[in-house]
């Protein structure tokens, strides 16, 4: 493989950018799975709601309001979803949880298709995010003229900030401590007199909110059409599995790994289409628990 | 317990299904079903009965059975196009190919339970879908599907119209009977024990993996037969045969009808195809939305599907009369 430094840098950036969206969606999935033990097949639909809300607000009221409104709105939608539906399924078998969220995903997707149509809606990037970054100005080792879309770099930065914020919340606050304890042993926490039900609700909202942030910044990159939700859900699931179910660090690691793998195999079209599945199979054969999966968690 | 007294009971369902299936061309058009839809219903009855051997008996929810359906359909198409228009060799090779794939996927995925299994089967199916769309495009026709197939022949018999219907109906009856036989066999009991409590089953010294793999491969064979018949019924292979929509559709059919009852999923399949093709005329583009709502309502309020609904109604109206 003969690759110039220029091409390598660009592939690296594309890998980071692809990984960013995956990480943001997988983070919510794994957070919900780790605490509530629910596999949320409707998580792709949450992202879908986010991008449609974002594009509607962005194209009428401007990007600033979309950024302020969409994540909190998604938090509310997530909480409503948990209270109204998911809550009833904590005591039911896992398959029932998969089925009901799968049904919800279809309903939400079809509803959005009905309202907004099946075609892609153009998502106008705000003026400050438009244009390209001259990479050769910052990185002296690059030869000649190397540019990258500015918006995609912003997306990477947003992902880094969001992931850091989630980790800070979980590791530096009392709320986070309780959530992490809940991920390990929810029953024990209940015996200690902690109302985990309310915190579960917040976690679900949080997962939805991260999907909201992903939607605001990812919408212009992933396009805005009803199929996007399911298209992203499958790789995100695989990332959660590769990283180890319920492991936040694992999700981040696996998300970047998959993003990089897709980016660096781009010249080899055949390998590119199956690389993500290939990695999943190999990882699961070598490490059945996933990269950072904890022992005894949903085995 | 007593198989002898249950014998009539079991065969009654098969006989009833046979009567309903074989008379379908006479009464189905009266309900507004176009000719050909009945054939499709028979084909999907085969698919869901097989799926119920896995989901209903062992409790393993696969989101990737489109893989076996699709692979078999493609192999049938390729065989018909390049080898012979006789369906017998085409179907045999197709089912054999899908079985081999099922063995490999089964060995890899059945190590994991519940959620992992669902996600992994989904991933494998998506992988085959991507492969058919890219590296195998030369053989599969990519997005356009596999076209230009000859009229399938059963030796000297042209597989068209009623001939295809009766061929599919007879297959469906035979395979339903076979599934019923499995259900009441010791093997079926083992499969159901896996659903109840796999850990406890293993503690009794039984190798649960063997039965899981058997259930998985059997259900894949049913899916493969259905996929192959789909090409015999309509000499064309669409790329959506391999997609997750197809896998999801089978799950919806099974759940709406009533998982674990064998008859229920067939009712679900008939309902869904009828809904999709006949009732959807009034709903237009929104039929899938309505179906999604029905599906969710069933999962939330009636996990046993149509079969549970029927049992409840029966109990309500006949308890006092029978004095049960």
Measure in Å the smallest separation between the Cα of B318 and chain A Cα atoms: 30
Mean pLDDT across the stretch B180-192?
A: 91
Residue A133 β-bridge partners: A148
The vertex-B17 CA angle with B12 and B18, nearest 5°, equals 95
SS3 content of chain B, % helix, strand, coil (to 5): 80, 0, 20
From the list B123, B131, B299, the residue facing A273 with the nearest CB is: B131
By percentage, how much of chain A surpasses pLDDT 70?
97
B9 within domain boundaries: no
Question: How would residue B304 be classed by pLDDT, with cut points 50, 70 and 90?
Answer: confident
> How confident is the model at residue A251, as a pLDDT?
92
Nearest Cα residue to A240 out of A292, A175, A183? A292
Highest averaged pLDDT of the listed ranges A87-91, A120-124, B127-131, B223-227: B223-227
Hey, what are A148's tokens?
Answer: 């990258």
Q: Which helix (H) or strand (E) holds B254?
A: helix B244-257
Question: How would residue B4 be classed by pLDDT, with cut points 50, 70 and 90?
Answer: low
Q: Do B115 and A277 touch (CB under 8 A)?
A: no
> How confident is the model at residue A146, as a pLDDT?
80
Question: How would residue A2 be classed by pLDDT, with cut points 50, 70 and 90?
Answer: low
B296 within domain boundaries: no
Indicate the DSSP class of residue B146. B
Measured between alpha carbons, how far is A3 from B275 in angstroms, rounded to an integer?
Answer: 55
B293 within domain boundaries: no
Measured between alpha carbons, how far is B67 from B100 in angstroms, rounded to an integer?
Answer: 12
Mean pLDDT across the stretch A96-117?
A: 91
Does residue A230 surpass a pLDDT of 90?
no
> How confident is the model at residue A295, as a pLDDT?
63
Mean pLDDT of chain B: 87
Write down the ipTM of this complex.
0.86
**Chain B contacts in chain A segment 130-169 (CB below 8 A):** none
> How confident is the model at residue A71, as a pLDDT?
95
Look up the CATH number of the domain holding residue B159: 1.10.3470.10
Tell which of B292, B301, B302 to mutate to test the A interface (max A CBs under 10 Å): B292
Q: Do B130 and A277 touch (CB under 8 A)?
A: yes
B137 within domain boundaries: yes
Does residue B229 surpass a pLDDT of 60?
yes
Nearest Cα residue to A186 out of A36, A292, A293? A36
Hey, what are A76's tokens?
Answer: 């509310």
Question: How would residue A3 be classed by pLDDT, with cut points 50, 70 and 90?
Answer: low
pLDDT digits (tens, 9 = 90+) for B111-133: 777 778 888 898 889 889 888 88
B203 within domain boundaries: yes
More confident site: A292 or B231: B231
Question: How would residue B245 be classed by pLDDT, with cut points 50, 70 and 90?
Answer: confident
> How confident is the model at residue B324, as a pLDDT?
44
Mean pLDDT of chain A: 87
> How confident is the model at residue A253, as a pLDDT?
94
Lowest mean pLDDT among A177-181, A205-209, A210-214: A177-181
Q: Do A274 and B131 touch (CB under 8 A)?
A: yes
Measure in Å the smallest separation between the Cα of B66 and chain A Cα atoms: 15
Give the residue numbers in B contacting A (CB under 8 Å), as ranges.
Answer: 55, 59, 61, 108, 111-116, 118-120, 122-124, 126-127, 130-131, 133-135, 244, 248, 251-252, 255, 285-286, 288-289, 291-293, 295-296, 299-300, 303
pLDDT digits (tens, 9 = 90+) for B258-288: 999 999 999 999 999 998 888 777 777 788 8
Close Cβ partners of A153 (under 8 Å, ≥ 6 residues apart): A13, A17, A133
Q: The pTM is what?
A: 0.87
Mean pLDDT across the stretch A235-262?
A: 90
Provide φ and ψ at A99, rounded to 5°: -65, -45
> How confident is the model at residue B33, as a pLDDT?
76
Hey, what are A232's tokens?
Answer: 């992203």
> How confident is the model at residue B322, as a pLDDT?
53
8 A C-beta contact, residue A81 and residue A206: no
Does residue A296 surpass a pLDDT of 60?
no
pLDDT digits (tens, 9 = 90+) for A138-169: 877 777 778 888 899 999 999 999 999 999 99
Tell which of A107, A226, A244, A247 to mutate to test the B interface (max B CBs under 10 Å): A107
> How confident is the model at residue B5, as a pLDDT?
62
3-state secondary structure of A132: strand
Provide φ and ψ at A294, rounded to 5°: -85, 150
> How confident is the model at residue B2, as a pLDDT?
55
> How confident is the model at residue A297, as a pLDDT?
53
Total domains in chain B come to: 1
Nearest Cα residue to A11 out of A273, A259, A270, A280? A259
| Residue numbers of the domain that contains B107 | 35-276
Mean pLDDT across the stretch A81-95?
A: 87
> How confident is the model at residue A1, as a pLDDT?
44
**CA nearest B130 in A: which residue?**
A273
> How confident is the model at residue A33, as a pLDDT?
87
Ramachandran area for residue B38 (φ above 0: left; ψ -120 to 50: alpha; else beta) = alpha
Mean pLDDT across the stretch A111-130?
A: 88
Question: How would residue B319 be classed by pLDDT, with cut points 50, 70 and 90?
Answer: low
Hey, what are B223's tokens?
Answer: 């899916």
B193 within domain boundaries: yes
> How confident is the model at residue B3, as a pLDDT?
56
Q: Is A104 on the interface with B (CB under 8 A)?
A: yes
């Amino acid at each position: 493989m003969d690759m110039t430094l220029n091409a390598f840098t660009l592939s690296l950036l594309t890998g980071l950018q692809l990984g960013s969206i995956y990480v943001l969606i997988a983070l919510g999935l794994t957070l919900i799975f780790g605490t509530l033990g629910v596999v949320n097949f409707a998580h792709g639909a949450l992202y879908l709601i986010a991008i449609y809300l974002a594009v509607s607000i962005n194209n009428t009221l401007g990007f600033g309001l979309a950024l302020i409104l969409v994540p909190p709105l998604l938090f509310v939608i997530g909480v409503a979803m948990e209270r109204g539906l998911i809550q009833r399924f904590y005591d039911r078998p896992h398959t029932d949880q998969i089925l009901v969220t799968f049904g919800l995903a279809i309903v939400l997707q079809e509803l959005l298709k009905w309202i907004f149509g099946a075609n892609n809606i153009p998502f106008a990037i705000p003026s400050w995010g438009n244009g390209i970054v001259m990479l050769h100005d910052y990185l002296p080792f690059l030869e000649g003229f190397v540019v990258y879309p500015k918006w995609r770099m912003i997306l990477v930065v947003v992902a880094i900030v969001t992931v850091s914020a989630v980790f800070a919340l979980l590791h530096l606050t009392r709320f986070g401590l309780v959530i992490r304890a809940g991920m390990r042993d929810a029953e024990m926490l209940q015996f200690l007199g902690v109302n985990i039900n309310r915190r579960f609700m917040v976690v679900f909202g949080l997962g939805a909110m991260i999907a909201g942030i992903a939607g605001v910044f990812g919408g212009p990159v992933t396009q805005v059409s009803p199929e996007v939700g399911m298209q992203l859900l499958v790789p995100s699931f695989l990332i959660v599995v590769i990283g180890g179910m319920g492991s936040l660090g694992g999700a981040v690691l696996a998300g970047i790994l998959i993003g990089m793998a897709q980016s660096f195999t781009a010249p080899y079209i055949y390998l590119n289409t199956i690389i993500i599945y290939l990695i999943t199979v190999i990882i699961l054969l070598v490490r059945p628990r996933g990269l950072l999966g904890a022992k005894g968690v949903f085995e | 317990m007593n198989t002898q007294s249950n014998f009539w009971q079991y065969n009654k369902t098969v006989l009833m299904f046979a009567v309903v299936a074989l008379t379908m061309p006479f009464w189905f058009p009266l309900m507004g079903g176009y000719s050909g839809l009945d054939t499709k219903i028979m084909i999907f009855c085969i698919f869901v009965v097989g799926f119920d051997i896995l989901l209903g008996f062992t409790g393993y929810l696969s989101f990737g059975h489109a893989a076996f359906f699709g692979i078999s359909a493609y192999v049938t198409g390729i065989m018909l196009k390049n080898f012979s228009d006789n369906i017998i060799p085409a179907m045999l090779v197709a089912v054999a190919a899908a079985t081999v794939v099922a063995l490999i996927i089964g060995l890899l995925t059945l190590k994991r339970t519940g959620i992992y299994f669902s996600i992994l089967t989904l991933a494998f199916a998506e992988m085959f879908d991507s492969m058919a769309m890219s590296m195998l495009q030369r053989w599969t026709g990519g997005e356009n599907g596999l076209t230009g197939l000859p009229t399938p022949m059963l030796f000297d018999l042209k597989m068209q119209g009623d001939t295809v219907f009766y061929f599919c109906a007879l297959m469906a009856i035979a395979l339903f009977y076979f599934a019923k036989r499995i259900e009441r066999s010791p093997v079926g009991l083992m499969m159901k024990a896996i659903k109840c409590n796999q850990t406890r089953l293993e503690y009794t010294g039984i190798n649960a993996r063997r039965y899981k793999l058997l259930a998985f491969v059997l259900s894949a064979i049913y899916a493969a037969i259905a996929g192959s018949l789909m090409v015999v019924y309509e000499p064309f292979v669409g790329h959506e045969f391999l997609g997750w929509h197809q896998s999801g559709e089978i799950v919806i059919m099974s759940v709406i009808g009533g998982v674990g009852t064998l008859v229920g999923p067939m009712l679900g399949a008939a309902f869904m195809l009828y809904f999709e093709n006949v009732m959807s005329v009034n709903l237009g583009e929104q039929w899938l939305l309505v179906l999604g709502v029905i599906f969710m309502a069933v999962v939330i309020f009636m996990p046993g599907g149509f079969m549970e609904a029927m049992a409840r109604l029966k109990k309500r109206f006949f308890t006092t009369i029978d004095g049960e």
